[in-house]
Amino acid sequence: MTTHARMWAKEELKGHLAVVTTPFHEDGSIDFDSLEFNSMRAQELPCVSGLYINSIYNEPTALTLEERTLVMKRCLRAVLPGNISVVAIGGASIQDVIDLAQQAEAAGADMIILWPPTFGHRTSEGVLAYFEKVLGSVQIPGAIYRSGLKEFGYFMSYSDLSHLLKLPNFCAVKDVSMSLSNYLDTLGHFGDELVISCPLDEYWAAGRLLMPGKSPDFLFGTSRPLYCETPDRPYLSEFRSAINSGDLAAAESNMKRILTISNSLHTRHLEAGGHNVALIKKAIEILGYRCGAVREPMSLPAQSEIDSLARIFDELELRPW
């Protein structure tokens, strides 16, 4: 079924949708000026087409409902004209989640993305009812986070996704199955109707090369722009351009650079089941972003780990600008 939201998603979702990190003061309060600074800085990157707000990198599980709303509004204020804004929505209380979705719509977000409920005994029927109520509470386009990571703990089946197609504003899926074959299979099943996207460039590339009619030119909610690209070393932009033009030699050289960084900093943690947000926050400080403190139960990484990443950045000529 073609809907306005699905047509919008197919036409408008392009490039890398970058995450934003939340800096904290030493007393644990949010540093809103640095939050806006980070939001603006990410949009200086050639690959970035918009912001993915209140993602796991904003540390939402450590924020109150009021703080999540304030973070969302401050980030939305920083979105540049012509860029896309997507707000991640999730929580233990369905009423809180509905309130967040409606506030995102009222604040002018282009789209929301809904996480599965992350705690307690979950059945397919219960999770589907949860998604239906939340997506049904707003008119703006909505996406689903389909994650196989242990920190989320619920992986949506094809039957679940098919059931949600009846919702006219359901238009996209962020697939973090951590399985290339699963990603391609999902793309094959649903790519005609929905935008099926992934934050990993190597998976995206396989989809573009093998299923160009189904694969979007869009990477959904990724941290890689923050540490794999600078304005004068646009490795992600060059990789995306090389894949789209069929220049596989150029794609290979850029992929090596991207994987050198991401495997050291991020992918190994994803493969273990979660996001090492504190490590990424501290690493991108090397490139000029503002890290600040983190909230418990997170803790900042050892300086030796940061020094090792600094050497990789230097070897690949990724430096502050």
In angstroms, rounded to a whole number, what is the distance separating the alpha carbons of residues 154 and 66? 26
Query: For residue range 232-271, what is the model confidence (pLDDT) as tens digits?
Result: 999 999 999 999 999 999 999 999 999 999 998 887 777 7
Q: What is the reported pLDDT for 59? A: 93
Of 160, 162, 145, residue with least CA distance to 198: 145
pLDDT at residue 117 in the model: 80
> Would you place residue 276 in the very low, low, confident or very high pLDDT band (cuts 50, 70, 90)?
confident
Whole-number pLDDT of residue 239: 98
Q: What is the pLDDT of residue 98?
A: 97
Say what the pLDDT of residue 152 is. Answer: 62
End-to-end CA distance of the chain: 46
90-144 pLDDT, tens digit each: 887 899 999 999 999 999 999 999 988 876 677 889 989 999 999 999 999 999 9
153: pLDDT confidence band, cut at 50, 70 and 90?
low
Instruction: Provide the pLDDT confidence category of residue 150 given band limits of 50, 70 and 90.
Output: low
Helix/strand/coil percentages in the chain, nearest 5: 50, 15, 35
Domain boundaries, the chain: 4-230
Rounded to the nearest 10°, the torsion over CA 313, 271, 242, 223 is -60
- DSSP element (H, E) containing 270: helix 268-271
pLDDT of residue 155: 84
Give pLDDT, residue 224. Answer: 97
Out of 160-169, 175-184, 189-198, 250-259, which region has the weakest mean confidence (pLDDT)? 175-184
Sequence-separated contacts (24+) of 96-104 with Cβ below 8 Å: 96/65, 97/130, 97/134, 98/133, 98/134, 98/137, 99/65, 100/54, 100/65, 100/68, 100/69, 100/72, 101/134, 101/135, 101/137, 101/138, 101/142, 102/137, 102/138, 103/69, 103/72, 104/72, 104/138, 104/140
Does the domain made of 4-230 have the CATH classification 3.20.20.70?
yes
- 181-190 pLDDT, tens digit per residue, is 999 999 999 9
Q: What percentage of residues in the chain have a pLDDT greater than 70?
A: 97
Q: Which of 201, 274, 271 is nearest to 237 (CA)?
A: 201
What is the mean pLDDT of the segment spanning 135-162?
87
pTM of the model: 0.95
CA distance to 62, 151, 274, 304, per residue, from 296 (Å)? 8, 16, 16, 21
Mean pLDDT estimate for the chain: 94
Burial (CB count <10 Å: 0-12, 13-18, 19+), residue 269:
middle
> What pLDDT, on the 0 to 100 scale, is given for residue 119?
67
Provide the pLDDT for residue 289.
Answer: 98
Judge whether 192 and 216 are in contact, CB under 8 Å: no
Is residue 234 classed as helix, strand or coil in its secondary structure? Answer: coil
Q: For residue 264, give the 3-state DSSP assignment.
A: helix
Residues 277-291 have a mean pLDDT of 95
Q: pLDDT over 90 for what percent of the chain? A: 82
Q: Which helix (H) or strand (E) holds 49?
A: strand 48-53
The yes-or-no verdict on residue 310 having pLDDT over 90 is: yes
Query: Around Cβ 307, how many Cβ atoms within 10 Å?
Result: 10
Is there a contact between 239 and 254 (Cβ–Cβ < 8 Å)? Answer: yes
pLDDT in tens, 28-67: 999 999 999 999 999 999 999 999 999 999 999 899 999 9
Taking a C-beta distance cutoff of 8 angstroms, is the pair 144, 113 a contact? yes
- Can you tell me the mean pLDDT for 209-235? 97
